[in-house]
Homo-oligomer: A and B are copies of this chain.
Amino acid sequence: MENGHAGKHRVAVIGSGNWGSVASRLLASNTAKLPSFHDEVRMWVFEETLPTGEKLSESINQAHENCKYLPGIKLGTNVIADPDLESAVKDADMLVFVTPHQFVEGICKKLVGKLRPGVEAISLIKGMEVKMEGPCMISKLITDTLGINCCVLMGANIANEIAVEKFSEATIGYREDKEAANRWAKLFTTPYFLVAIVEDIEGVELCGTLKNVVAIAAAGLVDGLDMGNNTKAAIMRIGLREMRAFSKLLFPSVRDNTFFESCGVADLITTCLGGRNRRVAEAFARNGGKRSFDELEAEMLHGQKLQGVSTAREVYEVLTYHGWQELFPLLSTVHEICIGQLPPTSIVEYRLAEGQS
């Protein structure tokens, strides 16, 4: 990879929501210090007009704060918001993707032919679609559309906790290019954010999506039914095992060890300790499944959807298609509960398949 002006790498962040703002802040604290990076972190902002009449990008550049998605936290004066996508990326040789997953394809199409040669990408986006013909890996979409190398960064990363510099870890998954992975790790690592690299991009990226299905069960249903900590731990464990087995069936290159990394067991734990999945699925279970997820999401999430519910449906379609349901009792049962085919209590009423533990 060629470096930018004066041999320094230039970083652009595509996305400025909650996680995008936190990532920009983290990166900017490093680019300001590390000699091999240009200070400035350019952050593409999907422009919005604030209630004050001000533009979001202008507000960020004036206050050095994203008052809409990360209020109260200074981003650093070297984070520059830019509402123009082409302008935001034109000098960058390191691109960080951190938008909702459904926007990536459109963004990539707009970027075709607009990037510098030798640019590298990383995706921080969790929650891909799992289609019948295979999961839509965001890293692959970026690589295929733009012809560039793309790593992923996943982990136990609740954005607001990283914003206030609580100790966290993350995992970078890469394919072959270890040097690129190490450069990303250097760019992201701080004393409160430890980054490990593993050569298993599919395993790392799938963790960030599949954990949402397990969280519906382990955080929401188990808590809503007051089943206690043994049950919660058991469902998390079975879920982690099924995440691993499912990933390995889809990609034989996936490694067991990946599930011991931050992207695996740790992200599952942090997701199951709190968050939207828990609140909505808990309400679902407390109502005995009589109020649908659609209804509860509308009421509790103001129109947002639970990633785990749609991922559970997609995974179920894959399992049904291949006749794998019996191998994945937990993943199957979560979907059957979500659609009202089974009561919430059935989350603990299955047996492990023969030969499994």
Beta-carbon contact of A230 and B352 below 8 Å: no
CB distance from A46 to the nearest CB of B (A): 26
A160 to B130, CA, bound (A): 40
For A157, A227, A234, A265, the residue with the greatest tally of chain B CB atoms inside 10 Å of its CB is A234
Residue of B whose beta carbon sits closest to that of A218: B269
Chain A, range 321-346, C-beta contacts under 8 Å to B: none
Beta-carbon contact of B227 and A166 below 8 Å: yes
The verdict on A162 contacting chain B, using a C-beta distance below 8 Å, is yes
The verdict on A197 contacting chain B, using a C-beta distance below 8 Å, is yes
Known contacts A348-B192, A357-B196; A273 and B233 CB within 8 A of each other: yes
Known contacts A265-B240, A273-B232; A198 and B357 CB within 8 A of each other: yes
Beta-carbon contact of B270 and A230 below 8 Å: yes
The verdict on A228 contacting chain B, using a C-beta distance below 8 Å, is yes
Contacts of A229 in B (CB 8 A): 156, 158, 161, 269-270, 273-274
The verdict on A286 contacting chain B, using a C-beta distance below 8 Å, is no
Contacts of A259 in B (CB 8 A): 260
CB distance from A241 to the nearest CB of B (A): 6
Chain A, range 245-273, C-beta contacts under 8 Å to B: 256-257, 259-262, 265-267, 269-270, 273
Contacts of A240 in B (CB 8 A): 260, 265
Known contacts A196-B357, A198-B357, A256-B256; A169 and B227 CB within 8 A of each other: no
Known contacts A236-B266, A352-B196; A230 and B261 CB within 8 A of each other: no
Beta-carbon contact of B237 and A156 below 8 Å: yes
Beta-carbon contact of B260 and A241 below 8 Å: yes
The verdict on A77 contacting chain B, using a C-beta distance below 8 Å, is no
The verdict on A310 contacting chain B, using a C-beta distance below 8 Å, is no
For A166, A167, A273, A348, the residue with the greatest tally of chain B CB atoms inside 10 Å of its CB is A167
Chain A, range 273-324, C-beta contacts under 8 Å to B: 273-274
A7 to B166, CA, bound (A): 61
Can you list 19 residue pairs at the A/B interface with Cβ under 8 Å?
A156-B229, A156-B233, A158-B228, A158-B229, A161-B231, A166-B227, A166-B230, A166-B231, A167-B234, A167-B348, A168-B230, A192-B348, A196-B352, A229-B274, A232-B269, A232-B270, A233-B266, A236-B269, A259-B260
The verdict on A194 contacting chain B, using a C-beta distance below 8 Å, is yes
Chain A, range 140-183, C-beta contacts under 8 Å to B: 156-158, 161-162, 166-169, 171
Q: Choose among B158, B162, B228 the residue that contacts A166 (Cβ–Cβ < 8 A).
A: B228
Beta-carbon contact of A237 and B256 below 8 Å: no
A334 to B261, CA, bound (A): 21
